[in-house]
Amino acid sequence: MRIATTIFLTDETITPVRLARELEERGFSGLYLPEHTHIPVERTSPYPAGGELPREYSRTLDPFVALGQAAAVTERLGLGTGITLVAQHDPIDLAKQVATLDHLSGGRFTLGVGFGWNKEEAADHGVEWASRRALTQERLALMRALWAGEPTAFKGEFGAVRASNAYPKPVRGEPRVLIGGAAGPKLFAGIAEGADGWLPIGGRGLTEALPALRAAWTAAGRDPAGPQVVPYAVVPSEGKLAHYAELGIKEVVLQLPPAGEAEVLRTLDAYAPFV
């Protein structure tokens, strides 16, 4: 089982360069970074985990810039977003960012996709909340048109792109795409339609959820080898990881604290037995 990590990197935490070097030297398989462009002060959207919104949410580094630094100082470490709020991006610009990072890292990038929870943040980007899922799926399709080997036009409900020359291309045609979100028919249908797998936060309830996801995957005529399921932001234990292995899961993303160098390195030492 591959053991990757995630962390809210901010202007107050360990740097991307130091963390990436430590992860690769210690044998961790990857680094996934979250995204929030800003957190409006006047906010009615509740924090999904309950209570006050942690300080790090409003201080996150841009994940693509930080992962670019991580790519430059490593050779094997996987790089990913956990997650990118695709609806809040211009899809032509985002397709270029993704392709560039994947190209420069030698095909090490995973695009984790999410639909968001903060209505005020999304609204400042011009996103209509009720249509954000459809918008996200369409923008993924537009990005794939730009990644295609031949100039390919795309026209959808929310946007379009002409057949274009757009380079660089992702190393394997397109990056691995994992979609985050709570288990349910709508999410699983979207994964089966246009992704490689699922990023379930915390990894709870997988025994019950996986049959439904696999049924949606099979119904969509996808490769029987899939989907990939990558439990995300997990606090590990031997029993938990053994359970994931029994379910056929091949990668787990462990949560690191949004802290300075000393605390993060102590946590990596504590996680070392799982690598």
Cβ contact 198:176 at 8 Å: no
pLDDT tens for the chain, 275 residues: list them. Answer: 999 999 999 999 999 999 999 999 999 999 999 999 999 999 999 999 999 999 999 999 999 999 999 999 999 999 999 999 999 999 999 999 999 999 999 999 999 999 999 999 999 999 999 999 999 999 999 999 999 999 999 999 999 999 999 999 999 999 999 999 999 999 999 999 989 999 999 988 999 999 999 999 999 999 888 899 999 999 999 999 999 999 999 999 999 999 999 999 999 999 999 99
- Give me the pLDDT at residue 145, please: 98
- Enter the tokens of residue 176: 């691995």
- Give me the pLDDT at residue 225, please: 86
Q: Which residues contact 51 (CB under 8 A, 6 or more apart)?
A: none
- The Cα 98–Cα 163 span in angstroms is 19
Which helix or strand (DSSP H or E) is residue 212 part of? helix 206-219
Q: Which residues contact 2 (CB under 8 A, 6 or more apart)?
A: 29, 30, 78, 250, 251, 252
The crossing angle, in degrees rounded to 10, of helices 185-194 and 132-147 is 10
- The Cα 50–Cα 123 span in angstroms is 22
- Give me the pLDDT at residue 203, please: 84
**Among 222, 196, 227, which residue's Cα sits nearest to residue 80?**
196
Judging by DSSP bridges, how do beta strands 2-6 and 109-114 pair with one another? Answer: unpaired
- Give me the pLDDT at residue 176, please: 98
Q: Is 46 exposed, middle or buried (0-12, 13-18, 19+ CB in 10 A)?
A: exposed
- Give me the pLDDT at residue 204, please: 87
The total domain count for the chain is 1
Report CA-CA distances (Å) from 209 to 125, 182, 200, 247.
32, 10, 10, 11
**Among 39, 108, 7, 28, which residue's Cα sits nearest to residue 271?**
28
* Residue 10, domain extent: 2-274
CA 233 to chain centre: 11
CATH of the domain at 52: 3.20.20.30
- The Cα 234–Cα 255 span in angstroms is 5
**Among 138, 39, 129, which residue's Cα sits nearest to residue 92?**
138
Cβ contact 234:255 at 8 Å: yes
